A and B are shown apart, each in its own frame.
Chain A
Amino acid sequence: MRLPNNILGIAFIALTLLLGAGGAYAAEGTNGIGPNPAKAEKGEQCVEPVDDMRRYHMNYLKHQRDETLREGIRGKKYSLNECIDCHAAKSPDVAGGNIRTIKPFCAECHQFAAVKIDCFECHTGIASPIKKGNKPPMPSKHGKTDQEKDALVFGMLENYLKSKSDVGGVAE
């Protein structure tokens, strides 16, 4: 059975404090003993200083998820999909190393910290080959070049305008 994560979290904190390893690990991150998350695939720097990310990424994520889901605020920087976009890496364990997945990156420290996250039961941990956001799935206009698309779109616009002026009754 999955135990509530924060119980595990509390247990972990108690344990690290006990072993006196907490500080060293949080500050260094990669000191040979602790976890050693892979380098980001993309980007020069993280969305916050690395030190902050190590400590507070869960707060950023949870804050953003509430904002996005409950209030509809989008495009902020702590998007899980963005983390995936930069941090997902190919791993020989997953699909023969053909796809980039985030799970090993997040699992690296969490395993060490005995934290269990359920995020990827729902969120895909797989980075899409094309950066998402640019090309929302648009079945009707799929596979056209940008110029073709624009031509199509402006054609539609023209038709639309025409049909409106035919009817005549455009409300102001």
Chain B
Amino acid sequence: MASIDKNTYKEVSGNGGDYLSLIAWLGVFAVAGIGSAFYMETQGHVVTGMTNQIVWGMPHVFAVFLIIAASGALNVASMSSVFGKKIYKPLGRLSAIMALSLLAGGLLVLVLDLGRPDRLDVAMLKQNFKSIFAWNIYLYSGFFGVVIVYLWMMMERRFNKYSKIAGTFAFVWRLALTTGTGSIFGFLMARPGYDAAIMAPMFIAMSFAFGLAIKIIFVTSAYRATARPLGDKLLFQMRNLLGIFIAAALYFNIAQHLTNLYAPEHMGVEMFILLDGGIYTILFWVGQILLGTIVPMTLLFHPAINRSCQSINAASMLVIIGGIIQVYIIIVGGQAYPMDMFPGFEVTSTFFDGSIHSYTPSLPEIVLGLGGVATALLIMMLAVKYLPILPASLSDAAIGPANITTDEDA
């Protein structure tokens, strides 16, 4: 009944020049991000590209991307603990660490972008329970707790037997978390770009893809850098899974756009994104669909190239870039298209009513976003150095027979 984890995990030595210089670079970015936030807070948000029309910008793009990637990163652990896919078991600990650090990075950006980050204590103490945002505060802090417990169950041999139940709990929690994040947008009834229940499941599908893509890149780079063996079995398994997740995200995307095309009140914004939205249309077709979906699917499924580590990595990288672009289209594109205050009327005013709102991200807000990414990576890098997170070997032999679904854990 008990499923003892028989893999050996070892800290990476982390004394090499590569490791240290990477840490240093990440540190520089993280500090620059915090510096940007400080600058934004003292000068005011006027130094960002955000306005009274585009009220959420680049920081939110990065934050939302990191948060949904966090819940997706946990997925690989769930695959083994919850669904008995033993092949993913060795990556369980890493998944939990990635989930924690990506969430930390995302929340950092979200919080530092606030108009009054010094009032964070207020957000913790005074809560409006009707607000999805307030729920998310619980979902996020709860996620930290749940994942830490899960990680502990996985790392402490005596408790391995509880890892299934902890993993199941964490899995349910992460579904709730992504639903909560998606709902932030889903409930904005007045904004034609958002008001859709499909936002929540779409965010879940996206999270699977983003989280796994980040994991593939991290694992392949880490194992190359530390000269630890990484067999094809696991790599190809992850490759196939990533392909499926991209397809699922695409499916929800198509569903969202098609249903919107049937709803007259969403027609305008759909046409804007798909046909005549200028930069947003280009980002959609070239960024999200071509680079973020079609090219990676080809790299992952085309038999001539899909066995090379480089194509799998390239595909993962494209999924990440396409993902950020997709979140950008959702967040910024959704606001750029004006709200229809007077349906059937042309509207003009000094407040830019009725016109497409323009947004040019400024350097400080981009640096803040990248600072969050750097913080997340920094935490991961430090974790694998100081904790036994990464298996000593992921060779085919160490993994055991692929593609077996055992009920051993049950």
Chain A residues with CB under 8 Å of B117's CB are 1-2
Task: Tell me the total A-B contact number using a CB cutoff of 8 A.
Answer: 17
- Is A4 interfacial (CB-CB < 8 Å)? yes
Cα-based distance from A5 to B118 in the complex (angstroms): 8
Residue among A1, A6, A118 with the most chain B CB within 10 A?
A: A1
> B241 → chain A, closest Cβ, in Å?
42
Question: A69 near B: Cβ within 8 Å?
Answer: no
Q: Give A1-43 interface residues, CB cut-off 8 Å to B.
A: 1-7
| B118-144 vs A, Cβ < 8 Å mask (1 yes, 0 no) | 111100000000000000000000000
Interface size of B by CB at 8 A reads: 8
- Digitize B12-49: 1 where CB-to-A-CB distance is under 8 Å, 0 elsewhere: 00000000000000000000000001100100000000
A1 nearest in chain B by CB position: B38
Closest to B41 in A: A1
CA distance A1 to B37 in the complex (A): 9
B121: nearest chain-A partner, CB-CB = A4
Please, which residues of chain A bring their CB within 8 A of the CB of B37?
Answer: 1
Chain A: interface size category:
under 10
CA distance A6 to B118 in the complex (A): 10
Interface SS of A by simple majority? loop
Kindly state the separation between the CA atoms of A63 and B41 in the bound complex, as whole angstroms: 28
Chain B 90-120 interface 0/1 with A at a Cβ cutoff of 8 Å (1 = within): 0000000000000000000000000001111
Question: Once the chains bind, are B121 and A2 in contact (CB under 8 Å)?
Answer: no
Assembly CA distance A109 to B118 (angstroms) = 22
Whether A6 contacts B121 by the Cβ 8 Å rule is: yes
User: Which residues of chain B are near A5, meaning CB under 8 Å?
Assistant: 118
A4 contacts which chain B residues (CB < 8 A)? 118-121
Query: How far in angstroms is the closest Cβ of chain B from A23?
Result: 27
- Complex-state Cα separation, A1 to B121, whole angstroms: 14
* Cα–Cα distance between A3 and B119 once the two chains are bound (Å): 8
| Nearest residue, chain B, Cβ from A116 | B118
Which residues on B sit within 8 Å (CB–CB) of A1? Answer: 37-38, 41, 117-118
* Alpha-carbon distance between A63 and B217 when the two chains are bound, in angstroms: 54
Counting chain A CB atoms within 10 Å of each CB, the highest count among B37, B38, B41, B121 belongs to B121
- The smallest beta-carbon distance between A116 and chain B, in angstroms, is 9
What 1/0 mask marks residues of chain A from 54 to 73 whose CB sits below 8 Å from any chain B CB? 00000000000000000000
* Of B38, B41, B118, the contact of A3 (CB 8 Å cutoff): B118
Interface residues in A100-129 by Cβ distance below 8 A to B read 118
Which residue of B is nearest A6, CB measured? B121
Inter-chain contacts of B119 with A (CB < 8 A): 4
Q: Chain B: residues with CB nearer than 8 A to chain A?
A: 37-38, 41, 117-121
Q: Which residues of A contact B (CB under 8 A)?
A: 1-7, 118
Can you report 17 residue pairs joining A to B where beta carbons are below 8 Å apart?
A1-B37, A1-B38, A1-B41, A1-B117, A1-B118, A2-B41, A2-B117, A2-B118, A3-B118, A4-B118, A4-B119, A4-B120, A4-B121, A5-B118, A6-B121, A7-B121, A118-B118
When A and B form their complex, which 7 residue pairs have the shortest distance between CB atoms, in order from nearest? Answer: A2-B118, A4-B121, A1-B38, A4-B118, A6-B121, A4-B120, A1-B41
- Apart from A4-B121, A7-B121: 7 A-B pairs, beta carbons within 8 A: A1-B38, A2-B41, A3-B118, A4-B119, A5-B118, A6-B121, A118-B118
